[in-house]
Structure 1
Amino acid sequence: MALLFRFSQLRNSIWSSCPARLRMQHTVLSSGTQLDPKSYEKRLFSTRVQETASLHKTDLGPCISGIQPLKFKQTSEHEQSAPLLIFDIETTGFFQKKTTGNFQKDNRITEFAVRDLCGGKNSTFETLINPERGVPGYLKTVNDINTELVCKPDVPRFSDVLPLLLAFVRSRQTPGKPVIWVAHKVNTFDGPFLAQEFNRCSAQMPEDWLFVDSFCLARKLPKVEASEDKKHLLNLESLSKRYDISVKGSAHRAMHDVTTLCHVFQKMSVDLKLTYEGLINETTKASYFNNLVK
């Protein structure tokens, strides 16, 4: 009952901050299809929701876990109005482009986390996801996620999470403005995986979603002269050491890596003197990933 009450608070928080009906014109579902929050609760979450599927509230205002809201310099009269969503996923393995009609053979998402770097209340969302397939044993030592943790009835499938995720994003979005997603290696990992999960739900990621690969941005950083191995390391762990960033919790879990990337991305933005327009120029459109998994 406690978990059901927790999820009820989550659902009510999201639906109270966005339209009561989520229009699905962003997807390839039939035109006019709508998701009513009441029918959504009954149809998709008749079982308990995993406690980690939660919308974290805070009374700290815009400053969450020491992360300050990020505002970019403007090079034009246009104001920054797009949410900046830092996200990360955990999966059953590497991305494998679909070669057959059997999605069950593909790797799947097991955990999803996102934080709006613009700050404010209700700005984070995380959940375990039932991949509907086994999790390789070696991943237990990497991220502490195994088959027993996620492959059970009370862990939502991605199809269960999708309506809530779309509602969460719309609650953060300024009408008529894009949504900017940032992840480390999003072009080769997170983006294709996310598009693949949408595809399984007979949907496509919204056209106004734009993706920034922080790994590609890190390539533009000045070389670190005093590096032990004399190399310019670009993975998230190395970038954390470069900026002397330490985040509590288990590494390689989605929200931990999101929090780490929030700090790293802010530091990189300063070093690269990144403007809002410059950031937009670094984006990859959702259509690229949608076409990749067709």
Structure 2
Amino acid sequence: MQYAIVDIETTGSYAAASGITEISVQVLDAGGVVLERFETLVNPVHQIPGYIQALTGISNEMVAEAPLFEAIAEKVYALLHDKVFVAHSVNFDYSFVKSQLQACGYDLNANKLCTVRLSRKLLPGYASYSLGRLCEAVGIGHYNKHRAGGDTDATVALFQLLLEKDAEGYITKSLKKTSREQALPPNVPKSDFDQLPYTPGVYYFHDDKGKVVYVGKAKNIRYRVSSHFSNNSTGRQRQHFMRYVYHISYEECGTELMAAVKESTEIKRLWPRFNASQKKREDLYGIISYEDQNGYLRLGVDKMVRGKQLLNSFHHLEGAKASLRQLVQDHQLCPRLCFIDEQLFDETMHRLLCGGACEKRETPERYNQRVLEAMRYLENLPSFAIVDRGIHHDERSCILVWRGSFYGMGFISGEVQIERPEQLREYVTPYKENSTITNMLFAYAKRYPSKIIQFDQAS
């Protein structure tokens, strides 16, 4: 078995939108003896950002006359093919090299070893496992830092030390197909992955300070988390996961639907750095009621603020206005007394709906009866429960929609007979509603009516 120790310098943090500016490869035999060396600058066909020039010392002028990657692809592939690809934070270097080779017609599929992960196992107890600080701590000279050749020299010396320390054959075990060591981010303990269940739920990626940086849902938590790391995606998100994720936690849910609801609430609550979808703040609107100075009950739309009571709520202003317009038509209310734009109801429609309340030709008592009917309708929007399997065999999962809005979810004993929605409110945990969840639950209820317990409007 031979090892190819690799280091690259690049124009950016992920391969899909960046290029290689320098590459260094050293081939070692099974005992750690260096057999071959290769190093060159590369024209990345990208501008090198100023901060990277400052870090590496590689300028646009330096690479202007350097070979394109396609000119060295055959050589690089020959060095890496049938070798174990070794690097410090290996998935970063591997994703770039594999992508560049693939663009030149070469399909690299090598076993990988990460010297960060190996060092955490074989050289435990150090404060930092960055290449520079670890080399300093163990007495390895690290010269010409942030250049491919200097970093490769240091990684070779580190790997030779790891080979010496590996009395129990941990490196060989890490190369087995059943091991996750090749795929996991460099700083994530394998124990975090090993504890993941094969059940529906949500999973959390944490950074080095413990803060949640990503929340995901899954039908099978273990498979889904594995998919984030086992593919060779060159996109930004995967590279961010590889670089910033230090810990994985999870929460089991009874069903995939519960996981989707939990994910949505957690994204809104935690605002994780690497979640792109659903990160939009929602104002809450609703229909309000009050009595004017002439004794007429009036309806209108207003934004939800602390302490204000709404007859019902909507996540979009247009939804609230549309609902009010429907109430006006269904209960023959005066559009003007409900602050409806007169352009939406012409004079003819206004006369059909309004009995003269806006001109005081209809008494407040008679008009208010219809307003009260409309208000009672809003109070009796559909209530239903979505009941499905639980985490354990003797329980069921339950998601409660209360008067048209998501209320909460939880688990109930299989022996409990569900008769009234108020009964379920004692068992479920309340959650903050949002439009994504509400739309999801009504769509699910329509698609899977056999899992729905519908309650009477009077409940």
Q: TM-score, normalised to structure 1's length?
A: 0.56
Letter in 1 for 2:153: T
- Offset from partner CA, 1:171-223 (integer Å, 9 cap, x none): xxxxxxx4111000012x10111122123224421x3x211111111222454
Q: Does 1:127 align with 2:30?
A: no
Alignment partners' CA distance in 1, 2:79 and 2:90: 20
Letter in 1 for 2:116: F
State the match for 2:130 in structure 1: 235
Letter in 1 for 2:152: V
Secondary structure of the 1:123 match is: strand
Q: Does 1:109 align with 2:20?
A: yes
- Offset from partner CA, 1:67-125 (integer Å, 9 cap, x none): xxxxxxxxxxxxxxx211111000011115x4xxxxxxx11110000111227786000
**Where does 1:98-247 land on structure 2 (aligned, <5 Å)?**
98=16, 106-118=17-29, 123-152=36-65, 155-169=66-80, 178-187=82-91, 189-205=92-108, 207=109, 209-224=110-125, 232-247=127-142
Letter in 1 for 2:23: F
State the match for 1:265 in structure 2: 159
Moved more, 239-248 or 107-116: 239-248
Letter in 1 for 2:13: F
Alignment partners' CA distance in 2, 1:191 and 1:121: 20
Cα drift, residue 166 of structure 1: 2.5
Q: Which has the higher contact order (CA 8 A, sep 6+)?
A: 1
State the match for 2:11 in structure 1: 92
Alignment partners' CA distance in 2, 1:255 and 1:110: 12
- Offset from partner CA, 1:129-159 (integer Å, 9 cap, x none): 100111011222211101111123xx11111
**Where does 1:2-13 land on structure 2 (aligned, <5 Å)?**
none
Alignment partners' CA distance in 2, 1:169 and 1:222: 27
**Cα distance change of structure 1 residues 271 and 120 upon mapping to structure 2, 3 Å threshold:** closer
Unaligned runs of 5+ in 2: 184-228, 236-459
State the match for 2:311 in structure 1: none
**Cα distance change of structure 1 residues 115 and 181 upon mapping to structure 2, 3 Å threshold:** same
Alignment partners' CA distance in 2, 1:164 and 1:214: 24
Secondary structure of the 1:219 match is: helix
- Offset from partner CA, 1:2-57 (integer Å, 9 cap, x none): xxxxxxxxxxxxxxxxxxxxxxxxxxxxxxxxxxxxxxxxxxxxxxxxxxxxxxxx
**Cα distance change of structure 1 residues 197 and 277 upon mapping to structure 2, 3 Å threshold:** same
Give the paired residue count: 184
Residue from 134, 146, 162 that aligns with 1:252: 146
Letter in 1 for 2:233: L
Alignment partners' CA distance in 2, 1:116 and 1:186: 15
Q: TM-score, normalised to structure 2's length?
A: 0.37
Alignment partners' CA distance in 1, 2:168 and 2:18: 35
Unaligned runs of 5+ in 1: 1-81, 99-105, 171-177, 225-230
Contact 1:112–1:128 (CA under 8 A) maintained in structure 2: yes
Q: Which structure is larger by alpha-carbon Rg, 1 or 2?
A: 2
Alignment partners' CA distance in 2, 1:289 and 1:161: 27
Alignment partners' CA distance in 1, 2:129 and 2:107: 30
Cα drift, residue 290 of structure 1: 7.2
Secondary structure of the 2:26 match is: strand
CA RMSD of superposed structures (Å) = 2.6
Residue from 233, 249, 255 that aligns with 1:292: 233
Letter in 1 for 2:71: D
Contact 1:134–1:151 (CA under 8 A) maintained in structure 2: no
Letter in 1 for 2:130: N
Alignment partners' CA distance in 2, 1:120 and 1:234: 24
Higher normalized strand content (fraction of residues): 2
Letter in 1 for 2:68: R
